[in-house]
Amino acid sequence: MKTIDILNKYKSDTASKWREDAEYRRKNARWLRYSTMIALQIRDRMSQIGMTQVVLAEKLGCTQQHISMLLKGKNNLTLETIAKLEEALDFDIIGKALIPVDGYVQNVPQSHRTYLSEPDQAPYGKE
């Protein structure tokens, strides 16, 4: 049996959406990166204070499934949602990621500066 025959025998009846998924990730790379950073901060904070997804969902008035989706870092979060998360977790999410516009970087780890700048550019405030 030829390789092509084996491949045809096991191919799926439904078309793959890998190309559409890749194009979506490329088109939305910037906010997806921010969403992932926020999701990681939320996960870390939940771990620090021993909070479960169920408890966070109750505090936010949503479902555990919604929290699970947020923690995957693929949601385009609104400022309102981020503010609610900050309140529920008693934690500053946005302030930890922002770099002052005057160029003075204060208490911001190098790893965060890298995420907040484009790969080919120097971090904000650095020339």
**Residue written as token pair 């609610």:** 84
Residues 63 and 86 occupy one common structural domain: yes
Residue type (1 letter), 66: H
If asked whether residues 27 and 65 sit together in one domain, one would say: yes
Q: Under a CB-based contact definition with an 8 Å cutoff, are residues 82 and 38 in contact?
A: yes
Query: Would residue 85 count as lying in a domain?
Result: yes
Question: Quick one: 35 and 85 in the same domain?
Answer: yes
When comparing pLDDT for 58 and 119, which is higher? 58
pTM for the predicted model, two decimal places: 0.65
Asked if 123 and 98 count as a contact pair (C-beta separation under 8 A), the reply is no
Q: Tell whether 107 is covered by a domain.
A: yes
CA gap 121, 119 in Å, rounded: 6
Number of domains in the chain: 2
39 plus 50 within the same structural domain: yes
User: Each residue of 54-88: pLDDT tens digit?
Assistant: 999 999 999 999 999 999 999 999 999 999 999 99
Q: Specify if 64 maps to a domain.
A: yes
Residue span of the structural domain in which 60 resides: 22-91
Residue 29 has pLDDT above 50, yes or no: yes
Amino acid letter for position 12 = S
